[in-house]
Amino acid sequence: MPTVLQLSDLHLGRMPEQDDQRCAALVEFVKQQAPDLVVISGDLCDDAPCQPQQVAYGKALVDALEPTTFVVPGNHDVGNKPGIEHDPLTPTRYEHWQQTFGPGWFRRDFESWTVLGINSQIVNSGFDAEREQEAWLAQQIADCERCVVFTHMPLDLAVLVDVHEDKRSNLRYWPVDPPGRSRILEMLRNPKVRLVCSGHLHNLASLPHASPPRLWCPSLSFGVIIPGVTGAVGAGERIGAIRHELTDSGVASTFVPVDLPVSATMTI
């Protein structure tokens, strides 16, 4: 059965003195896992909008991984979503990322399964790439038998905020905003979409009964505690990877711990 190994939120450059050790450990970890595909669900770099050399360093890691590795960009890679003042997404930052990794969306087929990646950072940007991605995503879902989708920012954290009646303004940092969120979710609420996998929360968490089911990959750099949110859906794991096995009956996702240097957990 095809296996996808999801890595997320590596934040290369946050601990520069340990990056070589961390990258070597990740290359060995991936080799031991022997997946058919590796997906990095965003924040490969810690400060790429301001430090283009971090993108080059991240690319060297991606090139060292086997098998094929796809990366969808995160807010630390290309800039924050529209409306967030600190390190905003700009055409220049996005263009630099494209030159190295492509547009931020991808497709890979395995027998009856399709693996899709989408770029959460350009949603609501008004860029031509946003419209291109939406048209592309609709076509990929129409053309596939069944699929799993990877992105950086979660599309539905607002659901968790509403459930817990928590209106803290800082929570707006975490999910994709409407109206783009609504358009993408409408496409993903298709029986062909079996799972949507995100990063960004730095926690292992899930909404298995949502439509479609959602899963968040933990971080490979530092954990984050968001009071009233992560504790409600999280499994207490903040450092590690996810192994997704694409079976005849669905996606079997398993947390896999990773032993490498990390920073202290933050409480937001």
| The predicted structure's pLDDT at residue 163 | 63
What does the DSSP 8-state code read for residue 81? Answer: P
| The predicted structure's pLDDT at residue 248 | 95
| The predicted structure's pLDDT at residue 143 | 97
| The predicted structure's pLDDT at residue 164 | 61
Beta-sheet strand order (sheet of 205-207) = 106-110, 113-117, 147-150, 193-198, 214-216, 205-207
SS3 157: helix
How many CB atoms neighbour CB 250 within 10 A?
A: 13
CA distance 30 to 67: 9
CA distance 74 to 43: 5
pLDDT digits (tens, 9 = 90+) for 56-93: 999 999 999 999 999 999 999 999 998 887 889 999 98
Q: 210-229 in b/e burial notation, b at 16+ Cβ within 10 A?
A: eebbbbbbbbbbbbbebeeb
Question: CA 141: distance to chain centroid?
Answer: 19
Q: Report the Cα–Cα distance between both ends of the chain, in Å, rounded.
A: 39
| The predicted structure's pLDDT at residue 212 | 93
| The predicted structure's pLDDT at residue 160 | 72
- Domain boundaries defined on the chain: 3-267
pLDDT digits (tens, 9 = 90+) for 112-164: 999 999 999 999 999 999 999 999 999 999 999 999 999 999 988 777 766 66
Mean pLDDT confidence for 246-264: 95
Length of the chain: 268
Q: What is the pTM of this model?
A: 0.96
In this structure, which topology does domain 3-267 adopt according to CATH?
Purple Acid Phosphatase; chain A, domain 2 (3.60.21)
pLDDT digits (tens, 9 = 90+) for 2-54: 999 999 999 999 999 999 999 999 999 999 999 999 999 999 999 988 888 89
